[in-house]
Structure 1
Amino acid sequence: MNKKRLLIIFVKNPELGKCKTRLAATIGDKKALNFYRNMLHRTKQVTEKVDGNKAIYYSSFLDFDDLWSNEPPFYKALQKQNPDLGIKMKSAFEEAFQNGYESVCIIGSDCWALDDKVIEQAFKALESKDAVLGPSNDGGYYLLGMNQLHSEVFSDKEWSTETVAPSTIKDFKKIGLKYVLLQELTDIDNEEDLRTIPKAQIERLLK
């Protein structure tokens, strides 16, 4: 187990009407909740295979009675209670580096195509580069990794827009970081994004 690596996993507490709201707008709150719960299970299965410690950061409250383990290499924490996603992520990275981790990556729980091989590729990139980014096809990103905190990458972003990944890459260049871009994947945010998942899997995910 590589104890110098930390994978931060940002999750939302799965509550009806409070998760996958854009998806829920067309398929309904219940199916959207089912989908998100199943995505959490998938994220758990994927991240269990990753070499390193994992920190589950909850959106609203710590849940010690859910699917995630309460034992190492999993740890549970609460996202900073601020509406700005950049502040939330910056705070999580700060905590990670203060705790002595040398390579830190963050992911969410919305990317069906993200697997342990891609995450391992990200950590491998950080062995020789300063940063790594996994761009999503909507202009955001599904993974961000760094070997030390660079606060600039969390500032002045229009989150949930197509400008996030390009703006972050611009920050990398401005700071002078050597970085790696991973393959582009799809975050599942709306009904159209569901089409990127095999049909047989979609039916199972919505139940």
Structure 2
Amino acid sequence: MTHPPVTLHLLAKAPLAGVAKTRLIPLLGEQGAADAHAELVRCCVNHACQALPAENVTLWTALEHEHPFFTQLRADYSIGLKPQSEGDLGARMRHALGDAPGPAMVMGSDCPRITPALIRLCATQLAHHNVVILPAEDGGYGLIGTQDDYPTLFSDMPWGSEHVFAETRARLTACELTASYPKTIWDVDRPEDWQRWSLP
């Protein structure tokens, strides 16, 4: 099977109790929320490496770059590890996307419903569009892929709000960039999201 020449990037915090997935703490407690975060990140890395060759996948780390969790993921999946850049989410995403020449995608590490098949579909769509996005039910998005560097998509964006996808789409139109939106997904952020993911 041939793979699209696309790189895939994930951004993740170290699974530190009291710091990772804080909105899950009321349901799971500090350590439980950190463990849930680790489970989600591992799931997303696993999906990424089923979809693309491991050498095309990089996990961008935050908080503790040498955390044993990260080194274990590298050992288990042979992925690249790099420290996240400074700046807001947009700056860090743009930095990751520009890490190597060619088309690239960055996806959330809390989006377990982004399956290997969906990742491959996004990579295929990126061959025919400037941008590919998986919109999220909460108004953001779970994955974005770009053919080139488009600074306007990442600067002065209302990150964390329900307006991110709408604003991104408006900027795509203003810049006359073509885009594909293969599927709407959801991420695990709040207690009800965790229950939706973890319960049969």
User: Do structure 1's residue 196 and structure 2's residue 190 form an aligned pair?
Assistant: no
Task: Report deviation, 1:198.
Answer: 5.0
Task: Report deviation, 1:68.
Answer: 1.8
TM-score normalised to structure 2 length:
0.89
C-alpha distance after superposition, 1:167-204 (max 9, x if no partner): 1111111111111012111111011112422514xxxx
CA distance in 2, matches of 1:91, 1:69: 21
Q: Mark the CA change 1:27 to 1:198 in structure 2 (over 3 Å): closer, same or farther.
A: closer
Q: Answer yes or no: is the 8 Å Cα contact 2:4–2:123 preserved in 1.
A: no
CA distance in 2, matches of 1:173, 1:69: 39
For residue 56 of structure 1, the aligned residue among 35, 59, 69 is 59
1:69-148 alignment, distance < 5 Å: 69=74, 74-82=79-87, 84-96=88-100, 100=101, 102-148=102-148
Bigger helix fraction: 2
Letter in 2 for 1:187: D
CA distance in 2, matches of 1:58, 1:87: 14
Task: Report deviation, 1:112.
Answer: 2.2
Q: Answer yes or no: is the 8 Å Cα contact 2:104–2:147 preserved in 1.
A: yes
Letter in 2 for 1:67: Q
Task: Report deviation, 1:62.
Answer: 2.5
Q: Answer yes or no: is the 8 Å Cα contact 1:7–1:55 preserved in 2.
A: yes
RMSD (CA atoms): 2.0
User: Do structure 1's residue 67 and structure 2's residue 68 form an aligned pair?
Assistant: no
CA distance in 2, matches of 1:34, 1:8: 21
Aligned to 2:39: 38
Q: Mark the CA change 1:197 to 1:173 in structure 2 (over 3 Å): closer, same or farther.
A: same
Aligned to 1:204: none
C-alpha distance after superposition, 1:72-113 (max 9, x if no partner): 96211111122x1111111222223xxx2x210001211121
Q: Mark the CA change 1:24 to 1:8 in structure 2 (over 3 Å): closer, same or farther.
A: same
CA distance in 2, matches of 1:71, 1:194: 25
TM-score normalised to structure 1 length:
0.86
Q: Mark the CA change 1:116 to 1:72 in structure 2 (over 3 Å): closer, same or farther.
A: closer
Aligned to 2:187: 187
Q: Answer yes or no: is the 8 Å Cα contact 1:40–1:109 preserved in 2.
A: yes
Letter in 2 for 1:135: P
Letter in 1 for 2:122: A
Letter in 2 for 1:78: P
- For structure 2, the residue ranges without an aligned partner over 5 or more in a row are none
